[in-house]
Structure 1
Amino acid sequence: MSPLDLLRAAGPLLWVLLALSLYVVYLTAMRIQAMRRLGQDASALIERARAITAESGPAAALAEVDRSAHPAPAVQVLRAGLHRADRGPDAAVSAMQSALLAEDSRLYAGLSALSTAAQVAPLLGLLGTVIGMVRSFLVFSQTSAPTPAQLATGISEALVNTAAGLVVAIIAYVARNALRARADRIATQAERVREDLPGWLTPRLAAAHVPTPVVSLPPRPEVSLSFDGAHR
């Protein structure tokens, strides 16, 4: 039996697995392209923004970040913090936290679908295996002495679906883990920016709010009243 005959004998579940494999490959390719764009190194821009913040303030650093148009999540978090820097470190941290959540949704998009495909593909292969074995046993019910060719149809369906389900699951599982590791590295740089930016702003805010010296007045003389000389 040729490989083409095996594929034909595998039944309709094989076409479902083939469609699932095409979806996994397409989603993996799209996420690799997105990770390549989002994973551009932003260390030089972050250091430049830190220096500008120390020298000219958050507004100048924000203008520099906007001019760069860098797509990295760390830069988006930095932009959100600098935009709210004039309201204090707490407002900047809150804005950066919101931006970090939005960037996480971009980084980890599609990974849950790959995880689902890695779990469903073996189950579909197992279902095809059961259907193939049922077909093989039906041959015994129809004839007392089945030929190898009659048994081969159900057995080939079982084995081909099992192999196809495992192959799709392995591809989806490996792709999901590799993409997640890449997303974790990118998210770490964004979290580091969220932790470092309040330290950039603290010296400038402290210099802008120098306390006014309090002039102490000399103590007033105490006046005591005595009633010892009162008339009896």
Structure 2
Amino acid sequence: MNVIDLLRAAGPMLWVLLALSVYVVYLSAARAQALSRLGADARTLIERARAVTAESGPAAALAEVDRAAHPSPAAQVLRAGLARADRGPEAAQSAMQSALLAEDARLYAGLGALGTAAQVGPLLGLLGTVIGMVRSFLVFSQTTNPTPAQLGTGISEALINTAAGLVVAIIAYVCRNALRLKADRLALQAEQVREDLPGWLTRPAPVTRPAMPAAPLPEVALNFGGAR
């Protein structure tokens, strides 16, 4: 049996499963590309911003982050916090929380659809299985002594759809978990920036010792009267 015969024997439900598999592959590839673009390591930028904040203040650190134009979620959260740092740590914390929510939506976009595909795939395969078994039982009602070829049509449809549904579910499940692990790693780095930045802003300034007053010069008495 070639591929054409296999498609014909599987019935119409297989076409639905093929369309779902194409969607799963496309969505997985698109999300992998997006996460790869966002996944540049931001640790060097974070440490540089920390040093600049300690030396020159949050405004200089914000200029450094803007100049780097880093695409990672951690850099976006860091930029949001430094932009509100002049209003105090509480304002910076609120701005970073809003930025973190926006970055989470960007990181986990599409993962819910992959989870739905992983659940729907076996159900569609089961529906194709039921349709194939119904077709096989109809052969008994229409024919007194059905041949193996007549029964095999419905059974083939049932088994092919079952296998196709499981394949789609496995692909969707594996891709979703792999993408979620990468998104969790990026979100954790952004979360750490949100926790650390208020500490940078409230760090006390270095204490400088006051200059010691100069010791007074000894008074010298001058006698211009001459010796007696």
Q: Which TM-score applies when normalising by structure 1?
A: 0.87
Q: C-alpha root-mean-square deviation of aligned residues, in Å?
A: 1.1
Cα-to-partner distance string for 1:103-157 (whole Å, 9 max, x where unaligned): 0000000000000000001000000000000000000111111111111110110
Residues in 1 aligned to 2:2 and 2:172: alpha-carbon distance in whole angstroms = 28
Equivalent AA in structure 2 for residue 94 of structure 1: S
Residues in 2 aligned to 1:95 and 1:78: alpha-carbon distance in whole angstroms = 10
**Corresponding residue for residue 146 of structure 2:** 146
Residues in 1 aligned to 2:191 and 2:137: alpha-carbon distance in whole angstroms = 59
Residues in 2 aligned to 1:83 and 1:108: alpha-carbon distance in whole angstroms = 25
The residue correspondences of 1:87-102 to structure 2 (distance < 5 A) are 87-102=87-102
**Corresponding residue for residue 20 of structure 1:** 20
Question: What displacement does 1:2 show?
Answer: 3.5
**Corresponding residue for residue 79 of structure 2:** 79
**Corresponding residue for residue 194 of structure 1:** 194
Question: What displacement does 1:207 show?
Answer: 4.4
Equivalent AA in structure 1 for residue 121 of structure 2: A
**Corresponding residue for residue 32 of structure 2:** 32
* 2:6 corresponds to 1:11: no
Sequence identity percentage: 82
Residues in 1 aligned to 2:159 and 2:139: alpha-carbon distance in whole angstroms = 17
Question: What displacement does 1:26 show?
Answer: 0.1
Residues in 2 aligned to 1:13 and 1:130: alpha-carbon distance in whole angstroms = 11
**Corresponding residue for residue 224 of structure 1:** none
Question: What displacement does 1:3 show?
Answer: 3.9
Residues in 1 aligned to 2:116 and 2:43: alpha-carbon distance in whole angstroms = 35
Question: What displacement does 1:164 show?
Answer: 0.3
User: Unmatched 5+ residue regions in structure 2?
Assistant: 207-228
Residues in 1 aligned to 2:150 and 2:2: alpha-carbon distance in whole angstroms = 16
Across the two proteins, how many residue pairs are aligned to each other? 206
Residues in 2 aligned to 1:196 and 1:163: alpha-carbon distance in whole angstroms = 50
